A = this chain, B = another copy of it.
């Protein structure tokens, strides 16, 4: 789950994802990193975004790997799919905008309450336990911030609800690169039967 602090919650210009769309490019890359393999999609993965930018926050987006169709890994394609999702009239329950893509009105707290029922939720932050040292189940979900990070009041909610804080201790990495590495660490364990 990725928090987009400034990512817009209404119409945006596909030619300006980083600027007027509030770093929507990061959200697009995070979806691509979470879902795409070479010529394939990780069908057992879900991605959640929490978009907090204007004009109509908060909105949560849910992308279901096993259901998405017509999605390509480039930013503009995913941006187009998100743009469509943000035109849907939202309420508290998930509504499908395109195959496998859902949108709802959810606060961080509401979204987390949903997620902890389905997943072992970890917060990915620099001071956490080394991801390689942590026992992670197949059913792990990671929470990440965008280029701004996560606001203190939101951190308090996450820390209360998550199972633990985990880090990629090598370098300060972009959110989408952290997702690639989290997958890699889980894939390694699966492969080695750990």
Contact = CB atoms under 8 A, between A and B. Distances in A.
Interface of A: 14-15, 17-18, 25, 29, 33, 36-40, 72-77, 147, 168-174, 177, 180-181, 183-184, 187-188, 190-191
A126 to B, nearest CB: 9
B74 A75 contact: yes
Contact of A36 (B17, B37, B40, B174): B174
Contact of A15 (B15, B17, B184, B187): B15
Contacts of A29: 29, 73
Number of copies: 2
Contacts of A36: 174, 177
A82 to B, nearest CB: 14
A40 B74 contact: no
B37 A174 contact: yes
Nearest to A126: B38
Given A17-B74, A25-B73, A73-B25, A171 B147 contact: no
Nearest to A172: B38
15 contacts: A14-B15, A17-B74, A17-B76, A18-B72, A25-B75, A37-B171, A38-B174, A74-B75, A75-B76, A76-B76, A170-B187, A170-B191, A171-B183, A180-B180, A184-B184
A45 to B, nearest CB: 12
A17 B36 CA distance: 18
Given A170-B184, A170-B188, A177-B180, 11 more contacts: A15-B15, A17-B74, A17-B76, A18-B72, A18-B77, A38-B172, A38-B173, A38-B174, A39-B147, A75-B76, A181-B181
Contacts of A73: 25, 29, 174
